[in-house]
Structures are given as C-alpha cells and as structure tokens.
Structure 1
Amino acid sequence: MSGDTPPICALCGRPIPPDVPRSQHHLIPRLRGGKGGPTVLLHDICHREIHASLTETELARDFSTVDALRSHPRLARFIAWVRKRPPEFRSRVPGKRRSRS
C-alpha cells in the first residue's frame, strides 16, 4: 500500500477511494462560459446528483461555488444522506431530474 491519502470529494467531504468513479465538475458549466474555468473533484454519484438537481443556467447563475451547491435544499438533503454511506458507496439508480414547472 502506498500510504497516499485519497482525494476528498468537494461536495460531500468523504474520501474518494481509487476504485470509485470520480469526475471533475466545472463550477461554471462549459456551455455557459466555464470552459477552462475552475473545477472540483467529486464522487461520480455526487456529480450526477448536482446535474439531476440543477440546470446549466442555474449552475452558472446561482450555484457556481461549492458553498452555494451545499446550500441548495435538495443537495443539502443528498449530502446528509450520502455522508452516512461508506466512501465506496455507489448507487445503481441515478437521482431523478427535478420537474421543470
């Protein structure tokens, strides 16, 4: 074992083990001017929940920081739920996209 500390998910704060899918989240979506902008490393499950909860426009306009993402009610509930799971937890069923009313 190398003794390296695994990276920490910027959203949920849990370690990301080497065998768990991870992804880079553009804080400002690429299609909204964020190409080449800041990114954060996330568990794949956390990244999918962000995009199931918010539109690209909402992300660019109101949720372009980790603190803003954590303050969103649906994401705050998700974070509280996922923090109770082990770092290697993966959901086989992605979160449903919220309704657009």
Structure 2
Amino acid sequence: MPNTTTNNDPICPLCDRPIPDGSRSLHHLIPKLKGGKGGPTVLLHQICHKEVHATLTEAELARNFNTVPALRTHPRLEKFLCWVRKRPPGFRSKVPGKRRGR
C-alpha cells in the first residue's frame, strides 16, 4: 500500500515536503557521539536523513553543519534536495545508498 500524506503530516525542514508515517527519522543536529545526546533534533524524511549521513562525517556535522540552514548549503546536499523535491512525499530509494567519497 503506498504512503499517503495528510494535512497533519510534519514538513521536512530540508526538502520542505510533508513526511508521511513510516518515512520519518529523527536527526540530532550535533551527533550524539560528539556531545549532542541531549541536544536539538529535527524530524526529517528517512531518505533525507540517510543522505546527510552518507555525505558528512560526524565531525563535519558537529563542527560545520549543525543547523538546517548549514546543511542546505552543502553542495552535494543542495543537489540532492533539488532532486528529491520532485519526488512524492513517501518516496524511498530502491537502491541502498552508501557513503560517497569526499
């Protein structure tokens, strides 16, 4: 059964699309391993969250990309966000992602 969205679905702060049930993932803006265990979090699409962690190391996230506006400025994430915004809210990649070279 395909994911459906409702007006009550939260909006992903990265791609600005509604996040249906089953596609939600909590992202620590400062990684837990870098002192962010009790810190701020944001609710993202699972696919957006995976792309963040495939793109950036924990150290890079803690040091330079610990806000949503900062994440949006990363060149690879900018390109990904332009691409994913054209997909339906419940879209999931059928190909497993991996960490790409930096």
Scaled by the length of structure 1, the TM-score of the pair is 0.90
- Look up the match of 1:97: 99
- Look up the match of 1:28: 30
Which whole-Å deviations, capped at 9, do the CAs of 1:57-83 have from their partners, x for residues lacking one?
000000000000000000000000000
What is the identity, as a one-letter code, of the residue corresponding to 2:13? A
Note if 1:13 corresponds to 2:16. yes
What are structure 2's unaligned runs of at least 5 residues? 1-5
- Look up the match of 2:41: 39
- Look up the match of 2:56: 54
What are structure 1's unaligned runs of at least 5 residues? none
Which whole-Å deviations, capped at 9, do the CAs of 1:17-53 have from their partners, x for residues lacking one?
12x3211000000000101100000010000000000
Contact 1:48/1:94 (<8 A) preserved:
no
- Look up the match of 2:78: 76
| Identical residues among aligned pairs (%) | 71
The RMSD of aligned alpha carbons is 1.3
Query: Quick one: structure 1 residues 89 and 96, their matched pair in 2 at CA, closer, same or farther if it must change by over 3 Å?
Result: same
Contact 1:28/1:60 (<8 A) preserved:
yes
CA distance in 2, matches of 1:70, 1:95: 19
Note if 1:65 corresponds to 2:67. yes
Q: Which contiguous aligned blocks of 4+ residues in structure 1 show a shift greater than 6 angstroms?
A: none
How far did 1:94 drift? 3.2
